[in-house]
Amino acid sequence: MIPELGHYALVLALALGLIQSVAPIVGAKTHDAALIRLASSTALMQFLLVAASFGALVTCYVTSDFSVKTVFENSHSLMPLLYKFTSVWGNHEGSMLLWVFILSLFGGLVAAFGVNLPATLKAYVLAVQSWIAVAFYLFILLTSNPFLRLPQAPIEGQDLNPILQDLGLAIHPPLLYLGYVGFSISFSFAIAALIEGRIDAAWARFVRPWTLMAWMFLTLGIAMGSYWAYYTLGWGGFWFWDPVENASLMPWLAGTALLHSAVVMEKRNALKVWTILLSVLTFSLSLIGTFLVRSGVLTSVHSFANDPARGVFILGILVLFIGGGLSLFAWRAPMLKQGGLFAPISREGSLVFNNLFLTTACLTVFVGTLYPLALEALTGTKISVGGPFFNLTFGPLFVALMFAMPFGPLLAWKRGDLLGVAQRLMTACAVGLVAVAITFAIKGGASVLAPFGVGLAFYVMMGAIIDLVERTGLMRLPMATVRTRAAGLPRSAWGTAAAHFGIAVSMLGIIGAATWGTERIVSVSPGQTISLSGYDLTFGGLVERTGPNYTAQVATFIVREGGVQIGVMEPSKRNFSARQMSTNEAALMTRGVSQIYLSLGDANKDGAIAIRLYYKPAVMLIWLGAVVMMLGGALSLSDRRLRVGAPKPAARAAMQPAE
Amino acid sequence: MTRKQRRLVLIGGSIGVLAVAIGLVLNALSGSIVFFNSPTDIKEKHIAAGTRIRVGGLVKDGSVQRGDNLRIRFEVTDGKSDVPVRYQGIVPDLFREGQGVVAEGKLEAGGTVDADTVLAKHDERYMPREVVDALKKSGRWQEGEAK
């Protein structure tokens, strides 16, 4: 009964979605306030229905109702409750339901919190949002119905792919989807603006919080995915330039560019057309990401069992929305009025520079990701484009971007003083150079680029601090004045500084782990001691342990530093009987921001076992940096000028219909 | 500066950055891409020794030999031809005889692949696409054999 209810709720949501796709537009064209208001109600109702549908699927999974096909294929009655819950989206059908659930959530949020939006804009936004929703409801109902029943209910399920039986599945996909799907709002706003043919600084003020929110979730989602891959795949890599990773990086790059260009639009009423285009492109990249991961054109942990019909369907959605969005842009964008003027050397100019480099970097990732697919489709030649390609293309662009980053916030709007800013950044340069020298002194010249990378990271961090020092007048003005200025400083200024600081922190972690990491891949016998980077690990032996739905071979290692025991590491291999599959559970020991990483290979008959032992210096900074970036976003979001529902300028109030 | 000049600066700058990016992309593409080959391709195409390649197929039954220091040798087959692969390190958990595998490394003069990466399937139900295609080409693939 419950699966049928869930299915039915989704069909109802589709019906409402169809109404919401048309009625508000008719209302906006004919100035029919009732039809315009309808959009908010249907958006909220759609959210409730999809939530009910999602809840029904969760119920099926949690109660292990194996008469439902996807539950049978992806769950097992012995799994811990958390994994029963997370396996809802550990498969194609369920993950698409999560996708539309989040989509309807954002639609509902716009309806509920967009009270101060101009009525017609809101009507158009919700209508466009509903177009996307309808396309994906149809996709689920026609090709990927998660509620399909089996004619005879099996007694036991086939278990979830063991790699996915991890806390990571509870965190990474929902965060990533909140990011991906969150950009649908800026897309809908852009399309609405194009339909209306009207766009102003207020538009940017409405869009920015949504974009910022999506960006925060995407940042954290990518970082958590990276950490999950790091500890679960067993060889300590944190980024593989795998197409599915690139699929999430591209919307992030475009979204980051969008955040910055929206600032120019909001503050200076310039770059309007470009901001609209970026909004369209960012969500298009999210859709391409969904297509790459969900269509089965790529093989990876992310692609579940697939049939070709789905790929074609998603491709259709892709062509419709990206093609439609860009065509509408080409048609209507010339009608949008040009905005304010600015000199190339100015805050606006620096943000243009930021956009230029971010979008170009995004383009190189796009080429590297899709070129192999296109080549194979056209010529049948199979190639793989891996890390070296991206390091050679993405790397230099990002270095240039990092170098310019501290200049931006220090430049004045309209016309900036490059020399003056350079002088103010002298301290940052000095700190960077000292960092280069110290790194060379400690680590030697084995890698020439890495110390300069460290210097660059310190320069950016110092630059972020100098920005705050300049704004608050610290060291120049009396303490009391500084305090008032700090209190009066908009939160978004703190957010900018934090986010810029965060990316430098991540950069330090990447350089540290990639350059100065050490590793040993050896075979050890019980009692034997292995040394790496000042740590001694003694292998105690293998023991068997039984988990709820697996048996594990656990190896015990005593870790000593300078002869003193500092802990025990227990990497293991788990064998899942239901799928006859094993997973590698690496053991991690965090020392400051560095980690010791130990994972198991094959066991020999004589009791020896192959191990991979890594020392990853500063590796935790990669993800800590991402968290700092996200917190920067949160600070910015809490800025009262940006808060959803903040008071609008009095002049605009007159245009609002009384509601 | 007039509006026109400013726009020119902007467009010029954009074209400059794009040109640099295109240069980087082309340079990287010529140097860092790796071609995928089936064992039969390797036999037939006369690929120059020292080229980096990817080879995919099944691990031939009875071909796996393990040596000291985690050295391993095995043969990759597509049913028609076999290619010997040498590797040092820990092979993936799902690396088994008769299972799909993709190895990446340098092709040596004797026709052996000196691999630095060995990939197996992520999941017992699915084959790497490259392997499926290699097997289809050699006629060893029956639809429905594995989902």
pLDDT in tens, A515-563: 999 989 888 999 999 999 899 999 998 899 998 889 999 999 999 998 8
Q: How far apart are CA A190 and CA A192, in angstroms?
A: 5
pLDDT attached to residue A299 = 54
**In this predicted structure, what is the pLDDT of residue A298?**
65
Same domain, B28 and B92: no
Across the interface, which of A356, A393, A582 has its CB nearest the CB of B17?
Answer: A356
Question: Phi-psi region for residue A475, left (φ > 0), alpha (ψ -120 to 50) or beta?
Answer: left
Gap between the Cα atoms of B48 and B93, Å rounded: 32
Do B54 and B11 fall into the same domain? no
Q: Of residues B10 and B125, which shows the higher confidence score?
A: B10
For residue A574, the chain B residue with the least C-alpha distance is B93
Q: Are residues B5 and B47 in the same domain?
A: no
**pTM confidence score:** 0.90
CB contact under 8 A, B104 and A384: yes
- Strand-pair category, B33-37 with B52-59: parallel
- Number of other CB atoms surrounding residue B139 within 10 Å: 10
- Return all residues near A142 (Cβ < 8 A) that are at least 6 apart: A313
The answer on pLDDT for B11 being more than 60 is yes
What's the CATH code of the domain at B68?
A: 2.40.50.140
Does residue B66 sit in the same domain as residue B6? no
Q: Is residue B143 part of a domain?
A: no
Mean pLDDT, chain B, as a whole number? Answer: 79
Same structural domain, B28 and B40: no
Identify the band that residue B144 occupies on the pLDDT scale cut at 50, 70 and 90: very low
Cα gap B70→B78, rounded to integer Å: 25
- Cβ pair B21:A610 closer than 8 A: no
**Nearest Cβ partner of A343 from B1, B36, B130?**
B1
- CA gyration radius for chain A? 27
Asked if the structure places residue B147 within a domain, the reply is no
What pLDDT is stored for residue B12 in this prediction? 87
Interchain CB distance below 8 Å, B28 and A582: no
Judged by CB atoms closer than 8 Å, whether chains meet at B13 and A301 is answered as no
Residue A363 has φ and ψ, to the nearest 5°, of -65, -40
Shortest Cα distance, chain A CAs vs residue B60, angstroms:
19
Name which of B3, B8, B15, B34 to mutate to probe chain A: the one with the most chain A Cβ atoms within 10 A of its Cβ: B34
Indicate whether B6 pLDDT > 90: no
Residue A545: what pLDDT? Answer: 92
Given an 8 Å threshold on Cβ–Cβ distance, is A523 in contact with B70? yes
Give the Cβ contact number of residue A62 at 10 Å.
15
Interface contact flag, A393 B24, Cβ < 8 Å: yes
Tell me whether 0.85 is exceeded by the ipTM: no
Asked whether residue B69 falls in the same domain as residue B95, the answer is yes
Task: Determine whether the interchain pair B21/A341 forms a contact, defined as Cβ–Cβ distance below 8 Å.
Answer: no
**Rounded to a whole number, what is the distance in Å from the CA of B129 to chain A's nearest CA?**
7
CA–CA gap between residue A67 and residue A148 (Å, rounded): 9
> Residue A479: what pLDDT?
86
The two tokens of residue A253 are 């790059």
**Residue B21 sits in the same domain as residue B47:** no
Judge contact between A334 and A226, C-beta under 8 A.
Answer: no
* B49 lies in the same domain as B114: yes
A210: closest CA among A654, A633, A655? A633
> Of A216, A215, A70, which Cα lies nearest the Cα of A140?
A70
Identity of the residue in A393, A521, A581 whose CB atom sits nearest the CB atom of B124: A581
Residue B147 pLDDT grade (very low, low, confident, very high; cuts 50, 70, 90): very low
Q: What is the length of chain B?
A: 147
**H helix or E strand, kind and range, residue B52:** strand B52-59
Nearest to B35 among A300, A381, A396 (CB): A381
User: Is there a domain that residue B145 lies in?
Assistant: no
Closest CA to A72 of A162, A174, A146: A146
Neighbours of A399 (CB within 10 A): 16
| Alpha-helix residue ranges (DSSP H) falling in A321-417 | 324-332, 347-379, 387-404, 407-410
Give the model's pLDDT for residue A199.
83
Task: Give the range of the structural domain holding residue B22, as residue numbers without chain letter.
Answer: 1-32
Write out residues in chain A with pLDDT < 70, as ranges. 296-308, 338-339, 640-659
* The dihedral formed by the CA atoms of A140, A146, A147 and A149, expressed in degrees to the nearest 10: 120
Residues B80 and B93 in one domain: yes
Q: How many domains does chain B have?
A: 2
In this predicted structure, what is the pLDDT of residue A658?
38
- Regarding whether B58 and B1 lie in a shared domain, the answer is no
Residue A413 main-chain phi, psi, to 5 deg: -65, 155
